[in-house]
Amino acid sequence: MKNIDTLHWTGDESGCLVMIDQTLLPLEFTEIECRTVEDVWEAIKMLRVRGAPAIGIAAAYGVCVGLQAAASTDEAAFFTRLDEVVDYLATSRPTAVNLFWALDRMRKKAQLLRGKAAPAAIAAALLAEARAVHEEDRQMCRAIGRLGATLLEDGQGVLTHCNAGGLATADYGTALAVFFAATEAGKTLHVYADETRPLLQGARLTAWELQQRGIDVTLICDSMAAQVMREGRVQAVVTGADRIAANGDAANKIGTYGVALLAAAHDIPFYVAAPTSTFDLATPNGDAIPIEQRNAAEITHGFGRQTAPSGVKVYNPAFDVTPARLIQAIICEKGIIRPVTPECVAEMLNLSDDAAGS
């Protein structure tokens, strides 16, 4: 299967972050270079890089970009700049917790070395840490795929919403990893991809990615999911997540909650696939998950054409929350959480990596 290199670091500590500009897909495949922390912030904000795990990886490399000039200063100046860069990147998008998870990990790594190494050496260690975040994400995708594939059967129709594939991660995704791994295991699936209004991640990215990897995919408008389910074409739904609260409530792209309700109404299992870096145990339930509000123009002037009357009021939340009771199981890299209860979530997250692998 063809791999998609969503983002990577090029060169040594003085190098830069390179990423596919996902806003141009599927018509143009263009890579952009982020040489300043402002470039990285803008790329996250504008969804040039998007999807919770990929946002986390971009932010980790963003810290490295932001600290390049500070590597030749003294310790106090270096750590002042670290705080500035981390706090700034944290303002790019509010919902995907992987962003904050990665920034926190980078800050902690630097703090551990404070007083023990020179700024240049800390900067080098931070690049190594960002590379580790990247590599771990690759392995996470494979583990989620392997585990999730056991939930699907040969010949099934499956539905997904938004893009939780290679474009959203370091390797081949979370929800889409489940489809890829099942296909690799010899199962034939038929994937229905919701187009995902208003920014069309399903149409522009998921349909493209599945085609690139040779998976049978049919694109539908979001509003068609109920009819497609009613016709018996879908036997399982798998989506990604941007933040999962301690009780298993899961935030994902706007429209996911509706799909979960439809799946419940049709007795179709609804699965969430997400790495442990997407869990936020400090958030007790979905009500406490911050929901990003985006620009009205995404709805009134989508892709350059005005499609609503000037001056109309618009509400544009980018995410919604699916309550745990609608989720049959959460597939993470350590195992499958089922039933989705606060106890089972805590038990899985506390599992050591060794125990999880066995």
Q: Which stretch binds ligand MRU (CB under 6 A): 80-88, 151-159, 161-169, 226-234?
A: 161-169
Separation between Cα atoms, residue 171 and residue 106, nearest integer Å: 21
For ligand MRU, what does the binding mask look like between residues 90 and 129, x meaning CB under 6 A? ------x---------------------------------
Confirm if 200 and 167 have CB atoms less than 8 A apart: no
The one-character DSSP state at 100 is H
The answer to whether residue 272 forms part of the interface with ligand MRU (CB under 6 A) is: no
Note whether 43 binds ligand MRU by CB under 6 A: no
Question: How many residues at the interface with ligand MRU, by CB under 6 A?
Answer: 19
Q: What are phi and psi of 84, to 5 degrees?
A: -60, -50
Q: At what angle do helices 97-113 and 52-67 cross, to 10 degrees?
A: 40
Q: Does 51 bind ligand MRU (CB under 6 A)?
A: yes
Mask: binding to ligand MRU, 318-337, rule CB under 6 A, as x and -?
x-------------------
Choice among 222, 242, 249, 280 that is catalytic: 242
- CA 145, CA 166: separation in Å to the nearest integer? 12
242 is catalytic: yes
Residue in the shown chain whose Cβ atom is closest to ligand MRU: 240
| Residue 183 near ligand MRU by CB under 6 A | no
Query: Is there binding between residue 144 and ligand MRU (CB under 6 A)?
Result: no
What span, in angstroms and rounded, lies between the C-alpha atoms of 214 and 168? Answer: 18
- 239 within 8 A of 256, measured Cβ to Cβ: yes
Candidate list 53, 56, 286, 335; residue touching ligand MRU; CB under 6 A:
53
Question: How does 292-309 read in b/e, with b if 16+ C-beta sit within 10 Å?
Answer: eebeeebbbeeeeeeeee
Ramachandran class of 334: left when φ > 0, alpha when ψ lies in -120 to 50, beta otherwise? alpha
CB nearer to ligand MRU: pick between 50 and 105: 50
- Member of 68, 252, 277, 322 binding ligand MRU (CB under 6 A): 252
**Interface contacts to ligand MRU, rule CB under 6 A:** 47, 50-53, 96, 162, 164, 168-169, 173-174, 201, 240-242, 252-253, 318
Query: Which residues are designated catalytic?
Result: 242
